[in-house]
Amino acid sequence: MKCNLFIGMSFVLAISLNSCGMRDYMADADSCKELVKEFKTEDVLIGRSSTIHTTDSLLFVLDHTSTDSIIHMFDAFTDRHIKSFGKFGQGPDEIARAGQFAFDHDKGEAYVFDYGQQRVMAFNIDSVVSDPEYRPYVKLRFTTAKAFPDRYVHINDSLGFARHISPGKTKGFVQSLCRYNLDSGTVVPFGDPALKCYENRSMFAVSPETNMVAEACSTQDLVIIYDFDGNVINRFEGPLYSSDVNRDATYFTGAVFAGDYLLCSYSGDTTGKEYFGPYIVVFDKKGDYIKTLDLGRKIINMSYSPAKGRLLIGFDDEMQFGELSLSEII
């Protein structure tokens, strides 16, 4: 009994020392609003409900509420608009409700999860640009009746990562990180639930270069770094960490690997009313805290573009899209 008590007190002391040594993310934030430049989309009209995605040489904006072309493609070096494609609709070549976007670098194909027609549509980019009569093909059919993939990140046809959304045992739904096979639709749980202490509300980022996955937990102020086999490399509890997954709080709202860094958008709201926030918490790629940035605008999503070493950001603001050079802030 004394041994167990000593171990318990030591654990509490270690956590307390760790928390006291950390600074408040928001109070310690560096203001860099003036460093954010507007990313202009030329004459292309894009709806407010849009997300930006990047590859080595291309930028894609997915307009989730468009009733015309849903995908807008730009050159990552010049920002020139190349083409808009992916027609909205219920037809065999159309997209009814665009969900997730992914890109296969080896095949040069863009994938769009159509939750309206429960399928993944594949677009060969070279053919999209050169052939005005090009028609996409169905990569995979899936069902949303029991479970479906969310926020998919593509590595290859047999390996990708996603949040697996399924109904809860009593009410609501459960989100859990998983491996996702885009050829078969097979789902394999990822990570150790005993180490996470939660079962939902997380964002994640994937680094194919280092074979690492970062999971940023929205309601817990917690970041976990894994290797591709699911082994935990680092588990970082923020200053407001709690094991309670049901509290009305929003901390991390997104995550992206950017070169040697892990960038996590952060709200810090404890009222349950403001999901998006203006902060980016910067970690090294192993999950150790470096600094916090205050962009002065609510961040909807972000993606790193290696072409010019910049972060592309979608805002809930009069500036719809912005860019931030990492060399200026880190």
DSSP string, 238-268: -TT--S-SSSS-EEEEEEEEETTEEEEEEEE
CA distance 86 to 121: 9
**Amino acid code (one letter) for 329:** I
CA distance 301 to 313: 6
* 16 falls within a domain: no
Enter the DSSP assignment of 51: E
Give the bridge partners for 283, in sequence order: 262, 289
317 Cβ contact list (under 8 Å, min separation 6): 297, 298
* 282 falls within a domain: yes
Q: How many CB atoms lie within 10 A of CB 110?
A: 26
Burial of 284 (0-12, 13-18, 19+ CB in 10 A): middle
* 221 falls within a domain: yes
pTM given for the model: 0.88
Task: For residue 3, give the 3-state DSSP assignment.
Answer: helix
What are 220's two structure tokens?
Answer: 């817990």
| CATH number of the structural domain spanning residue 203 | 2.120.10.30
* 9 falls within a domain: no
* pLDDT tens-digit profile, the chain (330 residues): 444 443 343 333 333 333 333 457 888 899 999 999 999 998 898 998 899 999 999 999 999 999 999 999 999 999 999 999 999 999 999 999 998 999 999 999 999 999 999 999 999 999 999 999 999 999 999 876 666 788 899 999 999 999 887 766 655 667 788 999 999 988 898 987 666 555 556 799 999 999 999 999 888 889 999 999 999 999 999 988 888 877 788 899 999 999 999 999 999 888 878 899 999 999 998 889 999 999 999 999 999 999 999 999 999 999 999 999 999 888
* 278 falls within a domain: yes
294 Cβ contact list (under 8 Å, min separation 6): 26, 29, 30, 31, 32, 33, 278, 279
Q: Ramachandran region of residue 201, left (φ > 0), alpha (ψ -120 to 50) or beta?
A: left
* 23 falls within a domain: no
Helix or strand holding residue 282 (H, E): strand 279-284
Q: Are strands 30-31 and 289-294 parallel, antiparallel or unpaired?
A: parallel
* 8 falls within a domain: no
DSSP string, 98-154: EEEEEEETTTTEEEEEETTTTEEEEEEHHHHHH-TT---EEEEE---SS-EEEEEEE
pLDDT of residue 144: 67
Give the bridge partners for 187, in sequence order: 180
Using the Cα atoms of residue 222, residue 227, residue 230 and residue 233 in order, give the sign of their dihedral: negative
CA distance 101 to 98: 8
Domain carrying residue 157? 30-328
CA distance 225 to 286: 7
Please answer whether residues 225 and 213 qualify as being in contact, where contact means their C-beta atoms are separated by less than 8 angstroms. Answer: yes
- Total domains present in the chain: 1
